[in-house]
Each structure stands twice: as C-alpha cells, then as structure tokens.
Homo-oligomer: A and B are copies of this chain.
Amino acid sequence: MEKNICKGFKAAGVVSGLKKKKAKDLGLIWSEVPANAAGVFTRNLVQAAPVILDRERLKSGRCQAVIVNSGNANCCTGKQGMEDAAAMIRFAAAALNIPESLVCAASTGVIGQPMPIHKIETAMPDLAASLSSEGLDDFARAIMTTDLVPKVLTLKGETGGRTFSITAAAKGSGMIRPDMATMLCFVCTDLEVPVDILQKTLVNSTNFSFNRITVDGDTSTNDTVLIMANGMSGAVIKTEQDRALFQAMLDEILMGMAKMMVKDGEGATKLVEIEVKGALSDNDARAVADTIAHSSLVKTALFGEDANWGRIVAAAGRAGVYADPEKIDIYFNNIMMCKNSMTCGDKAEAEAAKVLKTPEFTITIDLNSGKGKASVFTCDFSIDYVKINADYRS
C-alpha cells in the first residue's frame, strides 16, 4: 500500500468512543490549500443530515477538509441531527482554523439514534493534531463499520512533464447495491482540475464502478463519494488527452475500490462478475445482470459452490426484458454449462464445479438475441451474512 497521501493532503483517524467496541471511529482529511471539489450522493428519499449539508456546501465547488465518523449514521435524527452535523463541521473548522464553508461531513453507522456530539467535540483537538501525510490508513480504519479491511488505493500519473497522484479511501461492506454510490469514498488528488470537469468525471467513474456492484441490494441513506483536487503537484488538466487520462485513472481507482468492497462484502467468500451479452439493448443486458446479481437463490448457490445454472436462467427470465427463452448459453469462466437453455452435461458440470471453488470468477450469460451487453459484480450470500446482520445493533 502506498503510504503517502498525495501532495498537500494530510489525514488522520482516532478513537472518539462512538463505536460500541473501542476502535477508531473519527477521521479527517485536510488539504493545505482550498481544493476544487465535487460529490455524488445517495438517491435514497431518506438522507442523512451530513448528506443534506454537503450537497449545499459543494455548490461552491470548493472544499478544504472532510470530517467523517462511523458508529452513528446521523440519519432520521430530525432537527437535532442537522444541528449535530453542523456542529461536527464547526468543530473541525475551528480545529483547522479554516472557514466552516470549506468543510464537508459524512457519517455511517446505525440509523435513527441521536448523535453523541460531545464525543466528537472532545476528540477533535487530538484528531487535528494527528494529521499526517501517512495518516490515510488510520482514516480508512476510522470510517469502517462491518468492513474487515481498510480500503485505500493510490495511482500515479503524468501530464505536461509533471507527476501527480490520486488517492482514495473508502468504506463499504453491507447495504451495497448498484443504484448509487452506496458507501463512503473520499478521493484526493494533487492534480489541478476545473470544478465542472471534476464533477463530470466523478459521475462517470461512479457509474462505471460503484454503480455496478451489489452485496445485498440495499442502498443506504448516507452514500457519499467526494473528491478534492488541490493542484499542489503543479500538474494541470489542459487538453482533452489530459482529461481522458484523468477519467481513466479515476475509473481504475474507483473500480478498484468497488471490487474491494464486494470482496469484503458482509460474509462474502467470492467475487463474481456477472456478464450478460446478446441482449436486445445494453439496458436490457443490465436489467438481466442486476436481477441475477441480486438473486438470493443464485447467491446462496454460489456460497454452496453449486453450479446451479437453472437458478441463473430463472433469474434472467424474471428480469422483465425479452430474449429468446430457448437460446440462453451460460459459461462459468470459459466452461460452457448450458447451451440453448439446456444442460451441457455432467462433464461440463464437473468442470464448472472447479471454477466455483475459486475466489474470483466470471459467469457469462449469452442471450443470443441481440448486441446489448453489460456486466456487474456481486458476491455470494453466506451464513455469516445473516449472522452479521441479525446481530448488527446488539
């Protein structure tokens, strides 16, 4: 893991006491100078207080710091929740000696419980004092809920003879669904990027990455992807080629994050790409891929390492799109399991069973009815998923 966050940024994570078990639960990212900024947020009708505040703040296109807590979602907390989110920002701004208008906030954790805001106030001086260019791992740990591993990625690029970096830290393990950002992700870059390009590129990359993964089909009230570009590397986006490079790098880094989330999905033991082709349109292909990726019966079969392609066909058939029901082919990696909607026999099944025992593979569904295609990523549905989610609050 790259230890240093990109130029001009510092990060930190500390224990404030918000989590039931003593662990890092309050994180901060700060840029030495105000950065251009953009965000993508949950489309859930019910939105957490910090999400509502951030949307407003980011209209300016500027941000210098983001304060994030785990252990409490600050959602369904009414007027007091809005005041607490504003207070969280005020405490951070004061500790960093920057305007409140340049601070964003995010929260993740249990919904509907009052925020013990005094814990954040008490921990803030220590948090600000801990800021370091090597602090992103601590930050990533501080924003974890049911995640088992902290998620940090860095990529380096070059333009106009100057090198720059993009670094991201994220959390996400449950309540994941390809319907919006569906987690928290904070991206820093020392590249100089105009605000309009920053927003557009972020939306594109989010659609390419986080909007193509599922763990359990649920979206949260707190989903946030936030990017800050402080220009401290001296590298600048000037040409269309620069923009394309930035898009490709952001795609790669967010897709890397997205896959880390699915791999670390609650109780997950497998990362599976669901690739659909031969649909009448790309949208149709996506509908079929999503339906398969969300199917509890498909996902439990994956957990059981059972090449039960009948469940895949049944899920494809209820996706609400037309394809010839007698022309479906299914592959597990390169093993054809089903041709023209019929079994390829015991030998193919035995070969597919070997694929199922590996931790990462692709299931391809060829509908043989058109040229539409799409792919999404899912994980299996395990006994541990149920255990984790039956016990989450207790």
A-to-B contact residues, CB < 8 Å: 43-47, 73, 75-78, 110-114, 174-175, 177, 179, 216-221, 294-297, 300-301, 303-304, 306, 308-311, 313-319, 321-323, 325-326, 328, 338, 340-343, 381-383, 385-387, 389-394
CA gap between A44 and B216 in the complex, in Å: 22
Known: A78-B326, A112-B309. 17 other contacts (CB 8 A): A45-B325, A46-B316, A75-B310, A78-B342, A112-B343, A177-B318, A179-B318, A216-B296, A218-B315, A219-B318, A220-B314, A221-B314, A296-B389, A301-B389, A303-B390, A383-B386, A383-B387
Specify which chain B residues have a CB less than 8 angstroms from the CB of A221 in the assembled complex.
Answer: 313-314, 317
22 A–B contact pairs at CB < 8 A? A43-B318, A45-B316, A45-B325, A46-B313, A46-B317, A47-B325, A75-B314, A76-B310, A78-B342, A110-B308, A111-B309, A112-B310, A112-B313, A113-B310, A175-B314, A218-B295, A219-B318, A221-B313, A303-B386, A304-B391, A306-B394, A383-B383
Find A44's partner among B294, B296, B314, B389 (CB 8 Å cutoff).
B314
> Nearest Cβ in chain B — how far from A387, in angstroms?
7
Contact B392 A306 (CB under 8 A): yes
CA gap between A247 and B111 in the complex, in Å: 43
Contact B297 A389 (CB under 8 A): yes
Contact A390 B46 (CB under 8 A): no
Specify which chain B residues have a CB less than 8 angstroms from the CB of A382 in the assembled complex.
Answer: 386
The chain B residue with its CB closest to the CB of A323 is B45
CA gap between A153 and B309 in the complex, in Å: 35
Contact A311 B111 (CB under 8 A): yes
Contact B300 A389 (CB under 8 A): yes
CA gap between A338 and B111 in the complex, in Å: 11
